């Protein structure tokens, strides 16, 4: 099983979450690639069984608009038949941005799991078991 974890991180919190996800995937015998969205190439995604996408809430509970959202929009347009999982962090609010993130994949061939994971920045240090459960549910 091959997995790729692509993230955008401004403060390092979402990067840390991406690293925890990648470590858990590796522990579950997945070959893992971890990439900042700036280094990710859409053309490489066909090689993976699972695509994990992570972004923090920005502005008014929305995806980062200059780099991450354009990447995801292009990914949606590719309409690959792939399993996909969404994750991210937020510093205020309640992680509501994740609903809009999920809706981007409506009416596509992507197989989005039934849940996504948004963790408050203040809870990230104590969320390893929640992240581990998330990964295990996604890859089942």
Please identify every stretch of the chain with a pLDDT value under 70, giving residue numbers as ranges: none
- Structural domain 2-139, CATH architecture: 3-Layer(aba) Sandwich (3.40)
- In whole angstroms, give the CA distance from residue 68 to residue 34: 15
* pLDDT value of residue 35: 98
Nearest by Cα to 55 from 74, 68, 41: 68
pLDDT at 61: 83
Q: Give the residue extent of every domain in the chain.
A: 2-139
pTM of the model: 0.94
Q: Nearest 5 degrees, angle CA 49-CA 55-CA 60?
A: 145
Radius of gyration, CA atoms only, the chain = 14
pLDDT at 96: 81
Please tell me the predicted confidence (pLDDT) of residue 117.
Answer: 94
Assign 3-class secondary structure to 102-114.
HHCCCCCCCEECC
Alpha-carbon separation of residue 39 from 8, 34, 82, 113 (angstroms): 10, 10, 20, 25
């Amino acid at each position: 099983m091959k997995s790729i974890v692509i993230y955008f991180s401004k403060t390092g919190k979402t990067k840390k979450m991406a690293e925890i996800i990648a470590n858990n995937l590796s522990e579950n015998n997945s070959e893992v690639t971890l990439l900042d969205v700036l280094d990710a190439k859409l053309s490489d995604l066909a090689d993976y069984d699972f695509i994990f996408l992570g972004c923090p809430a920005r502005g008014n509970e929305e995806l980062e608009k200059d780099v991450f959202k354009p990447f995801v929009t292009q990914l949606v347009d590719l309409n690959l038949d792939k399993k996909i999982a969404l994750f991210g962090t937020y510093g205020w609010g309640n992680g509501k941005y994740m609903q809009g993130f999920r809706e981007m994949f409506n009416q596509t061939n992507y197989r989005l799991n039934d849940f996504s994971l948004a963790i408050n920045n203040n809870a990230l240090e104590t969320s390893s078991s929640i992240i581990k459960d998330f990964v295990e549910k996604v890859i089942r």
